[in-house]
A = this chain, B = another copy of it.
Amino acid sequence: MSFFPASLENLIDKFAALPGIGRKSAQRLAFHVLSLPDCEAESFADAVINAKRSVSCCSVCQNLTEGDICSVCASDRRDRSTVCVVSEPRDVLSIERSREYNGVYHVLHGVLSPIGHVGPDDIKIKDLLLRVAADDSEISEIIMATNPDTEGDATAMYISRLLKPFDVKVTRLAYGIPVGSNLEFADDATLLRAIEGRIEM
């Protein structure tokens, strides 16, 4: 149904193509953009172009950065012997938020997914192996922190097997009951993992 002017329909289409935005929300966003002052609409468009142009992947850990090396890899206060492997750049933020981790990262930019036709060459696995295999490598531990779902688990398993020949410890994040949660609402799989992973007090 093309009721609105063509350029407005086009803008609605663009918003609707974003993840989690339905047709109605897209209309609302497009109307909002039209109601903005010219300069603000332009700075919105510029923000899209600028972010796209200036953000690239860190040459060391593949995290998003504006320079050649990201702020974590550039910092001299991080422990370069521990590498946390995550699937997406946003996961780096999640781990940083815990304020507990002081190592560096490796961002895979995806997980292995036979259904989504994502194979080992489509994500940054090779870059990780090259980091570990480098002559000047200081890496002693690799923490797998992919999401605890089927694809994330399979990816972690696949990478840990590739890392076997190298002299590094491979660990993964603990599974269990979320802090502040309630046993009653924990699903079976989580409870099973929590029991398996029980620790002495």
Residues of A within 8 A of B (CB): 3-8, 10-11, 13-14, 18-21, 25, 27-34, 36, 38, 41-55, 64-66, 71, 88-90, 92-93, 96
Is B31 within 8 A of A89, CB to CB? yes
Q: A27-B90, A27-B93, A42-B49 are in contact. List 12 more A-B contacts (CB 8 A).
A: A4-B93, A6-B66, A7-B47, A8-B51, A8-B66, A10-B50, A11-B51, A19-B28, A19-B32, A36-B52, A42-B52, A45-B45
Is A48 within 8 A of B31, CB to CB? no
Q: Could you list 15 examples of A-B contacts with CB < 8 Å?
A: A7-B51, A7-B53, A7-B54, A8-B66, A10-B47, A11-B51, A19-B32, A21-B29, A27-B90, A31-B88, A34-B52, A41-B48, A41-B52, A42-B49, A45-B48
Determine how close the nearest CB of chain B comes to the CB of A90; give it in whole angstroms. Answer: 6
Determine how close the nearest CB of chain B comes to the CB of A160; give it in whole angstroms. Answer: 26
Q: Interface on chain A toward B: helix, strand, loop, or mixed SS?
A: helix
Copies of this protein chain in the complex: 2
Determine how close the nearest CB of chain B comes to the CB of A173; give it in whole angstroms. Answer: 20
Is A34 within 8 A of B7, CB to CB? no
When chains A and B are docked, how far (Å) is the Cα of A4 from the Cα of B89?
Answer: 9
When chains A and B are docked, how far (Å) is the Cα of A58 from the Cα of B166?
Answer: 70
> Which has the most chain B C-beta neighbours within 10 Å: A7, A13, A21, A53?
A7
- Known A19-B32, A28-B20; judge A14-B47 contact (CB<8 A): yes
Give which listed residue, B5, B19, B30, B36, contacts A29 with CB less than 8 A.
B19
Is B64 within 8 A of A5, CB to CB? yes
